[in-house]
Structure formats: structure tokens, C-alpha cells
Amino acid sequence: MDLVLFYFFAAVTLGSALVVVGQRHPTYSAFALIVTLCSLSAVFGLLGSPFIAVLQVVVYAGAIMVLFLFVLMLLNVKREEPGRVGGGVLKLVGGGLGAVLAAQMGAVLAAGSAAPPPAGFDGSTGHVARMLFSPAYLYVFEATSILILTALVGAVALAKGDR
């Protein structure tokens, strides 16, 4: 049952990711990306990490994609026009390079997966939280709060323009 669900959501994820790339209109790309992120969240859940699955929906599909769509509406983005010189050749080269990249990463991953998965995996939110606030990650966690504050100030300063 899990396997069927996994392959279903994997197919939805890859298919909508292809739509994101293949679509000429950025708004349609954004909606396809929302589908990708939501089905990826289901994959995270199937892999035994409910905390990350919820975070994916709340942060990515909820916050980041709303920001994207807001900017798309604000700037009134048009369809991308076709026709750069040698566009067909570049597409072919890009596709070929992508195939090489996929083959290389696939070969690396296929070479190093032999160990049997250990039993007793606890991916619950409480376990993740105890790990997050343990001395190993506590300072990194506090550093991210400074990062977010900096990003907040930077985004306001950049988008305001000089007046």
C-alpha cells in the first residue's frame, strides 16, 4: 500500500516538476510548483518524517509560494516569448547536459546503497525537536534567527527603492 502511494506521489511530483519547467507562463509554473511541493510533502510523510511533511506544506506551499504569486501579480508578468538565436540548439545541449547529470548522480547513488536499514526509527516531532535544541544544533538554530532578521531587513531595503 505504501509502495503504491509512494509511486503515485512520485509520479505526480515529477510530472508537475516537468510542467514547471516546460510552461512558458510563470503563473502556471507557480501553480504547478505548488502541486509539486504538496505531493513531495506526501512523499516525506511516507518516508516517516511527519514533521518535515507538515513544514513543507506550511512553509513552502503556504508562505514561499504565496510570496512568489504575490510578486507575479505585482509585476504583471507576461508569457515568455520564444525565439532567441540558436534556441533549439541550446535546448538540445541543455537536455543533453541534464541527461549526463542524471546519469552521474544515479550512478553514484546506485553504487553506495547496501546497508540494511536499522530498526526502531523515531521521526516524530518531539524527537526532532529534542535533537534541534540539543547542544549539537542549538547555536545553528539561534544563528538562523539572525539570518531571518537580516533577510527581513534586506528584503525591505531592496524592495523599497531609493526615495
Partner 1 sequence: MSGADLAAPALLLSVGLFTVGAVGVFLRRNVITVFMCVELMLNAVNLAFVAFSRARGTIDGQVLVFFVLTVAAAEAAVGLAIIIAAQRNKDTLDLDAFNLMKW
Q: Segment 49-88, which members bind partner 1 (CB under 8 A)?
A: 49, 51-52, 55-56, 59-60, 63-64, 67-68, 71-72, 74-75, 77, 80, 84
Total number of residues binding partner 1 (CB under 8 A)? 82
The minimum distance between CB 130 and partner 1, in angstroms, equals 9
Q: Map residues 99-118 to x or -, x wherever contact with partner 1 holds by CB under 8 A.
A: x-xx--xx--x---x-x-xx
| Three-state helix/strand/coil letters over the chain | CHHHHHHHHHHHHHHHHHHHHHCCCHHHHHHHHHHHHHHHHHHHHHCCCHHHHHHHHHHHHHHHHHHHHHHHHHHCCCCCCCCCCCHHHHHHHHHHHHHHHHHHHHHHHHHCCCCCCCCCCCCCHHHHHHHHCCHHHHHHHHHHHHHHHHHHHHHHHHHHCCC
The reply on whether position 31 binds partner 1 by CB under 8 A is no
